[in-house]
C-alpha cells in the first residue's frame, strides 16, 4: 500500500503551481499552491525538529482554521509524530485535560488567544512546551523558509493522528489512527465518490474533527483537487459560494444544510458546477433530504462514519440515493449487525449494533487498554455503539446510538423514530427526543421541541405522534425550548437534555420556597446548555 504521505508528495510534484488551497478573505483571496503547501509543511517539520519533537511525540495545536494548522498537521504526520488538532473553542479545563492525557510534547496556540504565563488562565503543558504563534506570520515564514526534503519516515502501522472523540459522557478519549488506516480511508473514498483532480471542494467544516480533516481536506489533497477553505461557516457566504463558485463537491452536516435552506428561503437555487453534496456525522431527516432536493436540486449522498473508523457506509454516487438510509459498505469495509447484549447475529432486517472490520479501523484509544478492549468484540470487530439494521438489499439504516436508546415500561424506543414523526408536524422547527428518569416508566419518552410560529399545544404534538406510532413510543411530555444544545458538529447533546430535564423534574418537585431559592442556579444551567449551541462560532 502506498501511504497517503507518499501519494501527497507525488501529487505536489505533479500539481506544482496549481492551487491546493484557496482562502477567501475580506475583499481578497489567497491561493496556496501544492508546491507552497509542501514547502510550508517541510519548513514546519524543521521548526518542530528544532523544538525537539521526534517520532511518536504528540503535536497538539489549538488554532483557528488556517493554513498554519494544515502546515503543522502535515509536518507532524510526515516526521512520524502524532498530529493532535484541538477545538479552539475548548475551555482551559478541556485543554488541560487533553494536554495532560496525551502527554503532548508541544501545544501550539494562536498568540492573540493565549493567556500570558503566570496569569490565572495560563496553559500548562506538563510534558512539553507551550508555543504561541502569530498565525499569519507563521504561515508566511514557513512558506518562504527553505527546508530539506524528507523521506516519509513513518511506517504503515505507526500512529499518525489522534482525535479526541466528542463523547458526551465522561472524559473524551484520544482515538489514534495509523498511517495505513488514513490511507485506506482516502483510497476508499476516492473510488466511492469518484474524486478527481478536476474537483474543487468547498470546505466549511472544522479541521479538528474527522469529517473536516480526513473526509474533506485529505480527500481533496489525496487526489490533487483544489480546496476552497472558508474559515468559518457563514450561511449567506456559503450559499453564495455554492451558487456562484467553482465548487464541484460540498460536505455538510444536517445543521449546515438546514441553515443554508433557511438562507435560500422559498427560492430554488441552481448549483451550476456541483456534482456531489454529501451529508453525515448526524441523522439526516427525510424531510431535510427532500427539502435539499427541492431547493438545491441535488439528492444528497448520505454517509455514515465515526472518528474511530472514518467513513464506513455511503449511498452510491452512481445509483439510488435513498432518503433515510446511510448506504452500503465502502470497498474494503466489512460490516455486520449483532445483538448488542449477546453479540449473536441478528436476523436480516432486525435492529442490532453495527460492527465493522477492515483497514479503516483505528489503532485504539490513547493509553487506555481497558476502553480499547471494550471497543472490540472477542473476534476483533469494532463495536460502533450505533443501532440500526441492514435490509435484504444490503443497505443500512441507522436508528441511533445505543446509549440514546430509551427503555420505557420495558419497551425499546428509538428516539430517531419519534423525532422523525414529530418533525413532520408544521409546529415543530427542531426537535430531539430523550428518556428522562421516571418512577412509573423507568424512562419517560420526552420531546424537546423548538416550536415554529404558531407554537402548537403539547397535547396536539402527543396526539400527532400517536397517530403514527404505538402509544408507548409517543412522548409522555413535551418541553418547549428556545434552542437545542449541540456540540461542535451540530449534533444534539442528549446528555445535556437529560441533565436539564432531570434538573427541571427535581425543581418541580420542590416546595415553593425551595424553587424560588433555586431559580438563579437553574437559569445558569440553561445558559450553559445554550453556550454550546451551533449558532455560536463553533463550526470553523
Ligand atoms: P464522530 O466520532 O464525532 O464523527 O461521531 C460519530 C457518530 O455520529 C456515529 O457513531 C453516529 O452515531 C453518528 N453519525 C455519523 N454519521 C451519521 C449518519 N449519517 N446518520 C446518523 N448518525 C450518524
CA of 418 to the centre of ligand 1 (A): 18
Candidates 473, 309, 308, 311; CA nearest to 399 is 473
How many C-beta atoms surround the C-beta of residue 538 within 10 A?
21
Query: Residue of the nearest CA to atom 8 in ligand 1?
Result: 281
281 ligand 1 Cβ < 6 A = yes
Q: What is the pLDDT of residues 337-381, one digit of tens each?
A: 999 889 999 999 999 999 999 999 999 999 999 999 999 999 999
Residue 285: all three cell numbers together: 431527516
Q: Is the per-residue pLDDT at 435 higher than 70?
A: yes
Round to whole Å and give the CA distance between 517 and 33: 61
Residue 110 phi, psi dihedral angles, 5° rounding: -75, 130
Atom nearest to 284 CA in ligand 1: 20
The predicted structure's pLDDT at residue 451: 94
**CB of 173 within 8 A of CB of 368?**
yes
308: Cβ–Cβ under 8 A, 6 or more apart, which residues?
165, 175, 361, 362, 375, 382, 384
Give the pLDDT of residue 511.
55
Helix 415-423 to helix 458-468 angle, to the nearest 10 degrees?
110
CA distance 444 to 436: 5
- What's residue 499's pLDDT? 83
If you take atom 5 of ligand 1, which residue's CA is the nearest one? 306
**Distance, CA 63 to ligand 1 centroid (Å)?**
24
| The predicted structure's pLDDT at residue 283 | 86
Distance (angstroms) between ligand 1 centre and the Cα of 444 equals 25
Distance CA 56, CA 75 (A): 13
Rounded to whole angstroms, the Cα distance separating 46 from 31 reads: 23
Has residue 99 got a pLDDT over 50?
yes
- Counting residues of the chain whose pLDDT is more than 90, the rounded percentage is 70
Ligand 1 pocket check for 402: Cβ under 6 Å: no
Asked if residue 362 lies in contact with residue 181, where contact means CB atoms within 8 angstroms, the answer is yes
122-178: per-residue pLDDT in tens? 788 888 899 999 999 999 999 989 898 887 678 999 999 999 986 545 678 999 999
Nearest atom in ligand 1 to 384's CA: 10
DSSP string, 298-330: ---EEEEEETTTEEEEE--SSS---TT--BEEP
Residue 403: the pLDDT is 84
Q: Which of 51, 67, 121 is nearest to 59 (CA)?
A: 51
For residue 282, the CA-to-ligand 1 centroid distance in Å is: 5
Angle of the 179-192 helix axis to the 4-15 helix axis, nearest 10: 60
pLDDT at 171: 76
69 lines ligand 1 (CB under 6 A): no
pLDDT over threshold 50, residue 323? yes
Q: Considering only CA atoms, which of 33, 382, 316, 323 is closest in space to residue 181?
A: 382
- Probe ligand 1: pick from 257, 281, 355, max atoms within 8 Å of CB? 281
How many angstroms separate the alpha carbon of residue 329 from the centre of ligand 1? Answer: 15
pLDDT at site 27: 76
pLDDT, residue 251, reads 97
pLDDT higher than threshold 70 for residue 508: no
Cβ-count burial 301-321 (b if 16+ within 10 Å, e if not): bbbbbbbbbbbbbbbeeeeeb
Going from the Cα of 19 to the center of ligand 1, the distance in angstroms, rounded, reads 31
Query: What local confidence, expressed as pLDDT, does residue 520 receive?
Result: 41
Q: What angle do CA 415, 421, 426 make, to 5 degrees?
A: 130
Closest atom, ligand 1, to C-alpha of 487 = 3
Question: What average pLDDT does the segment 196-223 reach?
Answer: 96
CA 270, distance to chain mean position in Å, is: 27
* Cα–Cα dist 146/156, whole Å: 28
The reply to whether ligand 1 has any atom less than 6 angstroms from the CB of 168 is: no
Query: Per-residue pLDDT for 420 more than 80?
Result: yes
pLDDT score of 204 more than 70: yes
Q: Tell me how far the alpha carbon of residue 306 lies from the centroid of ligand 1, in angstroms.
A: 6
Give the closest residue (by CA) to ligand 1 atom 15. Answer: 281
Is residue 522 pLDDT above 80, yes or no?
no
The finding on whether 302 has its CB within 6 A of some atom of ligand 1 is: yes
Peptide bond into 214 cis (omega under 30): no
Question: In the predicted model, what is the mean pLDDT of the chain?
Answer: 88
Q: Whose CA is nearest to atom 20 of ligand 1?
A: 283
Q: State how far the Cα of 159 lies from the Cα of 257, in Å rounded to an integer.
A: 33
**pLDDT reported for residue 535:** 29
19 membership: H or E segment, kind and range: strand 19-24
Residue 280 CA to ligand 1 centre (angstroms): 7
473 lines ligand 1 (CB under 6 A): no
**Closest C-alpha to ligand 1, atom 7:** 306
The arithmetic mean of pLDDT across residues 73-95, rounded, is 92
Per-residue pLDDT at 517 exceeds 60: no
Atom of ligand 1 nearest to the CA of 280: 19
Q: Residue 48 has which C-alpha cell?
A: 518542530
Q: Is the pLDDT of residue 47 over 50?
A: yes
**CA separation (Å) from 381 to 93, 358, 370, 372, 482?**
34, 9, 16, 12, 41
The Å distance, Cα 301 to ligand 1 centre, comes to 15
Q: What pLDDT score does 167 carry?
A: 55
Q: What is the mean pLDDT of residues 458-478?
A: 93
C-alpha 208: how far from chain center: 9
For residue 491, the CA-to-ligand 1 centroid distance in Å is 9
Q: Is 165 in the pocket of ligand 1 (CB under 6 A)?
A: yes
> Which pLDDT score is estimated for 93?
83
Enumerate residues 6+ apart whose C-beta is below 8 A from 168.
403, 487, 493, 494, 495, 496
Q: In whole angstroms, what separates CA 216 from the centre of its chain?
A: 11
Burial class (CB in 10 A: 0-12, 13-18, 19+), 503: middle
306 in ligand 1 pocket by Cβ < 6 Å?
Answer: yes
**How many angstroms is it from 281 CA to the middle of ligand 1?**
4
**DSSP annotation string for 101-143:** HHT-SEEEEEGGGSPPTTSTT----TTSEEEEE-HHHHHHHHH
| 251-294 pLDDT per residue, tens | 999 989 999 999 999 888 989 899 999 999 888 989 899 999 99
Task: Flag whether pLDDT at 89 surpasses 70.
Answer: yes
* Of the candidates 210, 208, 46, 53, the residue with the CA atom closest to the CA atom of residue 125: 53
| pLDDT, tens only, 62-78 | 999 999 999 999 999 99
Q: For residue 152, how far is its CA from the centre of ligand 1 (angstroms)? A: 32
Amino acid at each position: 500500500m502506498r501511504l497517503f504521505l507518499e501519494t501527497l508528495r507525488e501529487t505536489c510534484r505533479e500539481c506544482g503551481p496549481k492551487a491546493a488551497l484557496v482562502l477567501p478573505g475580506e475583499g481578497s483571496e489567497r491561493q496556496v499552491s501544492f508546491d507552497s503547501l509542501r514547502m510550508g509543511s517541510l519548513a514546519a517539520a524543521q521548526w518542530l525538529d528544532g523544538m525537539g519533537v521526534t517520532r511518536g511525540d504528540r503535536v497538539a495545536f489549538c488554532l483557528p482554521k488556517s493554513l498554519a494548522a494544515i502546515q503543522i498537521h502535515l509536518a507532524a504526520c510526515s516526521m512520524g509524530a502524532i498530529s493532535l488538532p484541538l477545538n479552539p473553542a475548548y475551555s482551559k479545563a478541556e485543554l488541560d485535560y487533553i494536554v495532560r492525557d496525551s502527554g503532548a510534547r508541544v501545544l501550539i496556540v494562536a498568540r492573540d488567544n493565549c493567556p500570558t504565563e503566570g496569569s490565572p488562565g495560563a496553559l500548562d503543558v506538563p510534558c512539553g512546551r507551550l508555543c504561541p504563534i502569530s498565525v499569519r506570520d507563521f504561515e508566511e515564514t514557513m512558506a518562504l523558509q527553505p527546508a530539506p526534503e524528507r523521506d516519509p519516515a513513518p511506517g504503515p502501522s505507526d500512529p499518525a493522528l489522534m482525535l479526541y472523540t466528542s463523547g458526551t459522557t465522561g472524559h473524551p478519549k484520544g482515538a489514534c489512527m495509523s498511517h495505513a488506516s488514513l490511507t485506506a480511508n482516502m483510497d476508499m473514498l476516492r473510488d466511492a465518490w469518484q474524486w478527481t483532480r478536476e474537483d474543487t471542494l468547498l470546505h466549511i467544516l472544522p479541521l479538528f474533527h474527522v469529517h473536516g480533516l480526513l473526509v474533506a481536506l485529505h480527500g481533496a489533497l489525496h487526489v490533487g483537487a483544489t480546496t476552497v477553505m472558508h474559515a468559518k461557516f457563514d450561511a449567506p457566504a456559503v450559499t453564495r459560494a455554492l451558487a456562484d463558485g467553482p465548487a464541484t463537491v460540498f460536505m455538510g452536516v444536517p445543521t449546515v444544510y438546514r441553515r443554508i435552506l433557511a438562507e435560500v428561503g422559498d427560492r430554488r437555487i441552481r448549483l451550476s458546477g456541483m456534482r456531489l453534496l454529501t451529508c453525515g456525522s448526524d441523522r439526516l431527516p427525510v424531510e431535510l433530504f427532500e427539502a435539499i432536493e427541492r431547493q438545491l436540486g441535488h439528492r444528497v449522498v448520505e454517509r455514515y462514519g465515526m472518528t474511530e473508523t472514518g467513513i464506513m457506509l455511503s449511498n452510491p454516487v452512481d445509483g439510488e440515493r435513498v432518503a433515510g438510509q446511510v448506504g452500503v459498505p465502502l470497498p474494503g469495509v466489512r460490516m455486520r449487525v449483532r445483538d448488542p447484549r449477546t453479540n449473536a447475529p441478528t436476523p436480516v432486517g432486525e435492529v442490532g449494533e453495527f460492527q465493522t472490520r477492515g483497514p479503516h479501523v483505528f489503532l485504539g484509544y490513547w493509553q487506555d487498554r481497558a476502553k480499547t478492549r471494550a471497543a472490540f468484540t472477542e473476534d476483533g470487530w469494532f463495536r460502533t455503539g450505533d443501532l440500526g439494521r441492514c435490509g435484504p438489499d444490503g443497505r443500512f439504516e441507522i436508528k441511533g446510538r445505543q446509549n440514546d436508546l430509551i427503555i420505557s415500561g420495558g419497551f425499546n424506543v428509538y428516539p430517531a423514530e419519534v423525532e422523525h414523526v414529530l418533525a413532520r408536524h408544521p409546529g415543530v422547527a427542531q426537535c430531539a427526543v430523550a428518556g428522562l428518569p421516571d418512577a412509573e416508566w423507568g424512562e419517560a419518552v420526552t420531546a424537546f421541541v423548538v416550536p415554529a410560529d404558531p407554537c402548537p399545544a403539547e397535547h396536539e404534538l402527543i396526539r400527532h405522534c400517536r397517530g403514527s406510532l404505538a402509544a408507548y413510543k409517543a412522548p409522555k411530555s413535551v418541553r418547549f425550548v428556545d434552542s437545542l444544545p449541540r456540540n461542535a458538529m451540530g449534533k444534539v447533546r442528549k446528555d445535556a437534555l437529560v441533565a436539564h430535564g432531570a434538573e427541571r423534574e427535581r425543581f418541580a418537585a420542590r416546595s415553593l420556597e425551595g424553587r424560588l431559592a433555586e431559580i438563579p442556579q437553574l437559569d445558569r444551567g440553561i445558559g450553559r446548555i445554550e453556550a454550546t449551541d451551533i449558532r455560536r462560532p463553533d463550526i470553523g
